[in-house]
Structure 1
Amino acid sequence: MPKTVQIRDIDDDVYAALARRAAEEGISVPELLRREAARLASRPSVAEWLRRTGRRPSQISTADALSSLDDWRGQWPDARR
């Protein structure tokens, strides 16, 4: 049986963006939100995806990743000063 969902306190600019997007697709805002909710519900969460694929979150820090990329790419052209 279909359920009704009510969203309160949507900012005016957010609603305006939803209305523009719905108009571009030739549908109503509720239909746009219905489609997006169905799409969101059909996708696994990140935790579920990690569990399904057997992957684990990376233990590599952002600083280490950026350092490795810098080593691989070499010095930036404007870093010659």
Structure 2
Amino acid sequence: MLIPHPLLGLRDAQEFTYLGDASLLNRPTDPAAFYEYVYLRNNPAGVHRELWFHEYGDRSWLIVTRDTTTHEILGAELAKEAAR
């Protein structure tokens, strides 16, 4: 699987570490919501935004939009740009 790194171009997925749902960037402050944030996860089928860390490269964080049923990569952006 190739990931289109916004700065470095196409990179092999083996250079990255998958870290889960990109909504984890939105950490809640409410204690009841924090329990769900930590312990409850969705396992969606279809288009999904995910966090990937470029561990064996420039060590950047990416948000990768991927179809979980086909593994097709639809796009990638730097997480710091998406958080703005």
Q: TM-score normalized by structure 2?
A: 0.20
TM-score between both structures, scaled by the size of structure 1: 0.20
Per residue, is there more strand in 1 or in 2?
Answer: 2
Structure ID, larger Rg: 1
Q: Give the structure, 1 or 2, with the largest relative contact order (CA under 8 Å, sep 6 or more).
A: 2
